[in-house]
Amino acid sequence: MKEENSQQENLSKDDNVIVLNDEDGNDIKFDFLDLIEYDGDEFVVLLPSDENADEVVILKVEDGETEDTESYVSVDDDLVLNNVFSIFKERFKEEFHFCESNE
């Protein structure tokens, strides 16, 4: 079962910052990196705005409660996450240095 983080988008087009609310209601800032379509769904690739952040966050885009809002939902399927991340890496191979995980 997918866990919904009940997060609403606050997107500033000028600086590509998205502010999400965590389960405790705290605001967390992310830099928007990409929107990827995969298997009929859309996913956002975000980087925490924290200067020490070195891992992206991939969330599924779903319609929000109103017409002009979106909700982001965590993705539990590792295959989907890996495939979306592979698309992202291919698109941005010239802009980012990707390290392979030894997990």
Residue 47 domain flag: yes
Residue 100 domain flag: no
Enter the tokens of residue 27.
């605001």
Regarding predicted confidence, which is higher, 75 or 65?
Answer: 75
The residue range of the domain holding 86 is 4-91
Residue 99 domain flag: no
Residue 34 domain flag: yes
Interatomic CA distance for residues 66 and 22, integer angstroms? 20
Instruction: Supply the mean pLDDT for the chain.
Output: 81
pLDDT at 2 exceeding the cut of 60 = no
- Which SS3 state, helix, strand or coil, does residue 79 take? helix
Query: pLDDT value at position 97?
Result: 64
pLDDT of 23-65, one tens digit each?
Answer: 899 999 999 999 999 999 999 999 988 777 778 999 999 987 8
The beta strand positions in the chain, using DSSP E, are 4-8, 11-12, 17-21, 27-38, 41-48, 57-63, 70-74
How many other CB atoms are there within 10 angstroms of residue 76's CB atom?
A: 11
Query: pLDDT value at position 64?
Result: 77
pLDDT at 19 exceeding the cut of 70 = yes
Number of domains in the chain: 1
Query: pLDDT value at position 32?
Result: 93
Residue 73 domain flag: yes
What are the residue ranges of helices labelled H in the chain? Answer: 78-91
Residue 79 domain flag: yes
